[in-house]
């Protein structure tokens, strides 16, 4: 190996690859199950090589023992998985919004394969998850991911102690914010459903002989989807703004 790279260089590259590979395994878009593993592996190698001149100063020296090497590699893998999990957890806001909209429009029985969650889900939830991934790349939010890879070495430097308490706090806050955002994104449909159900109940009380369910079921689907379609632009804008704010937490480490 000395003809191509020194032991220190191989160690630095492997340590960078441990963190970068773990992050790329989980972030939205690149870390999906339908992306071929060779593509993710190749991208992780290329990004690791590109970041090596930038972050090599923050890396520890080559340990003298095998146990020390394994410990450093495991630490970097854990850090990468934590960062990737936080970035992926926030996308559950769209799944939550889709499930709520499906329930309010009586379309929760319409199940389809969700490629971003590798499990069945409602059709609207799968659509919103795909929309969110498309917006991430269409708005160049994935550039923040790349900047966040560099910023993570300032925010969570290998030479510093692992801030597990801060990670746990960030993960809990992110999950809470994602659920709250999911409810907020589906708020127009929730308001419509409340008003529509109240109106249907009043009609049923005033006209007991009228088949309310027969007329209300198709109207609930049509009007509910219409409200959802009208609010789709605002939904996407709010989500991507909040998601970019989350990604800037890791980018901010480069400037701090």
Q: What is the pLDDT of residues 154-189, one digit of tens each?
A: 878 887 777 777 788 888 999 899 999 999 999 999
Q: What is the largest CA-CA distance in the chain?
A: 90
Q: What is the pLDDT of residues 85-140, one digit of tens each?
A: 888 889 889 989 998 998 888 877 766 666 655 566 788 888 898 898 889 889 88
- Taking the mean position of all CA atoms in its chain, how far away is CA 142? 11
pLDDT over 50 (residue 192): yes
pLDDT over 50 (residue 210): yes
CA distance to 133, 149, 242, per residue, from 62 (Å): 39, 22, 40
Q: Which residue do the tokens 């799968």 mark?
A: 126
For residue 1, what pLDDT band results from cuts at 50, 70 and 90? very low
State pTM to two decimals.
0.80
Q: Decide: 129 and 214 in contact? Cβ < 8 Å.
A: no
Q: Decide: 89 and 174 in contact? Cβ < 8 Å.
A: yes
Enumerate the domain spans of the chain. Answer: 7-255
């Amino acid at each position: 190996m000395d003809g191509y790279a020194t032991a220190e260089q191989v160690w630095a590259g492997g340590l960078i690859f441990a963190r970068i590979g773990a992050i790329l395994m989980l972030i939205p878009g690149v870390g999906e199950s339908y992306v071929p593993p060779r593509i993710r592996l190749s991208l992780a190698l290329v990004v690791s090589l590109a970041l090596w001149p930038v972050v090599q100063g923050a890396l520890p020296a080559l340990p003298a023992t095998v146990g020390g090497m394994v410990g450093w590699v495991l630490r970097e893998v854990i850090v990468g998985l934590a960062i990737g999990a936080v970035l992926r957890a926030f996308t559950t806001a769209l799944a939550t919004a889709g499930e709520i909209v499906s329930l309010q429009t009586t379309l929760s029985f319409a199940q389809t394969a969700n490629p971003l969650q590798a499990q069945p889900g409602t059709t609207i939830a799968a659509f919103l998850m795909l929309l969110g991934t498309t917006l991430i790349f269409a708005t160049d939010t994935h550039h923040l991911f790349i900047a966040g890879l560099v910023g993570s070495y300032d925010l969570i430097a290998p030479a510093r102690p692992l801030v597990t308490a801060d990670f746990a706090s960030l993960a809990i806050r992110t999950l809470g914010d994602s659920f709250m955002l999911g409810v907020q994104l589906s708020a127009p449909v929730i308001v419509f459903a409340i008003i529509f159900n109240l109106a249907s109940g009043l009609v049923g009380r005033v006209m007991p002989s009228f088949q309310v369910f027969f007329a209300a079921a198709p109207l609930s689907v049509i009007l509910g989807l219409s409200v959802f379609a009208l609010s789709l632009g605002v939904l996407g804008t709010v989500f991507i703004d909040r998601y970019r704010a989350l990604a800037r937490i890791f980018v901010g480490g480069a400037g701090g």
